[in-house]
């Protein structure tokens, strides 16, 4: 006999406008309606069906003031709550890649990520985030490099600086020209 597949709660569902005010994650990857205080199977179809039920509509009309207040509180907390789950995840991955670059610890990126997942503020973002050497390298090359290059160019344009040029050859007889720029 084939085992039944049990669906898991997805944090992306919290970004759906109709669900933001009343849906949350329950125990064992179930969905929980805060208005009805009812646990729902973690299936988008079941959640939509519950939202359309007469019981949910009646209870949400009665507690309409509380729902609106909770939405205002959520919006007032921070701008991060306004962005979608995927945007928060990308921002977190970029910050993580910047840390890995700054500390020059690319080889241990996976182990550090598992540590962050244990102690993170937003566990939904950290749990869904994944970062290997290739992805970290690509974020560094494609995202952080252009931002930092632009920042350094802006700093150099607006301040006095000095340049030290050094030509180095390595074991394979390749020549490298290095520019050191010192600015305040």
pLDDT at 93: 87
- Token pair for residue 149? 């290059």
pLDDT at 71: 42
- Check pLDDT > 80 for residue 115: no
- Same domain for 134 and 178, yes or no, is yes
* Model confidence band, residue 72 (pLDDT cutoffs 50, 70, 90): very low
- Is 102 within the bounds of a domain? yes
* Model confidence band, residue 67 (pLDDT cutoffs 50, 70, 90): very low
- Same domain for 24 and 48, yes or no, is yes
pLDDT at 58: 87
- Check pLDDT > 80 for residue 82: no
- Same domain for 134 and 179, yes or no, is yes
Identity of the highest mean pLDDT range in 80-84, 115-119, 131-135: 131-135
pLDDT at 2: 59
- Same domain for 117 and 153, yes or no, is no
How large a percentage of the chain has pLDDT more than 90? 11
- Is 6 within the bounds of a domain? no
- Is 74 within the bounds of a domain? no
- Check pLDDT > 90 for residue 144: yes
Q: From CA 46, how far away is CA 31, in angstroms rounded?
A: 10
Structural domain for 116, as ranges: 84-129
The model's pTM: 0.42
- Is 135 within the bounds of a domain? yes
- Is 26 within the bounds of a domain? yes
- Same domain for 118 and 135, yes or no, is no
- Is 70 within the bounds of a domain? no
Number of domains in the chain: 3
- Same domain for 125 and 136, yes or no, is no
- Is 4 within the bounds of a domain? no
- Same domain for 57 and 16, yes or no, is yes
């Amino acid at each position: 006999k084939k085992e039944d597949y049990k669906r898991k709660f997805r944090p992306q569902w919290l970004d759906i406008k109709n669900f933001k005010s009343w849906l949350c994650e329950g125990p064992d990857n179930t969905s929980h309606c805060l208005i009805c205080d009812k646990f729902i199977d973690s299936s988008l179809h079941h959640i939509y069906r519950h939202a359309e039920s007469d019981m949910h509509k009646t209870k949400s009309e009665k507690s309409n003031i509380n729902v609106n207040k909770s939405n205002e509180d959520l919006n007032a907390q921070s701008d991060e709550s306004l962005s979608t789950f995927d945007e928060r995840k990308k921002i977190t991955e970029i910050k993580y890649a910047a840390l890995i670059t700054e500390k020059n610890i690319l080889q241990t990126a996976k182990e550090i990520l598992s540590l962050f997942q244990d102690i993170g503020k937003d566990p939904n973002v950290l749990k869904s985030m994944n970062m290997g050497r290739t992805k970290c390298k690509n974020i560094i090359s494609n995202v952080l490099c252009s931002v930092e290059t632009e920042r350094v160019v802006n700093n150099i344009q607006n301040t006095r600086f000095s340049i030290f040029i050094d030509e180095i050859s390595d074991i394979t007889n390749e020549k490298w020209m290095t520019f050191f720029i010192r600015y305040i």
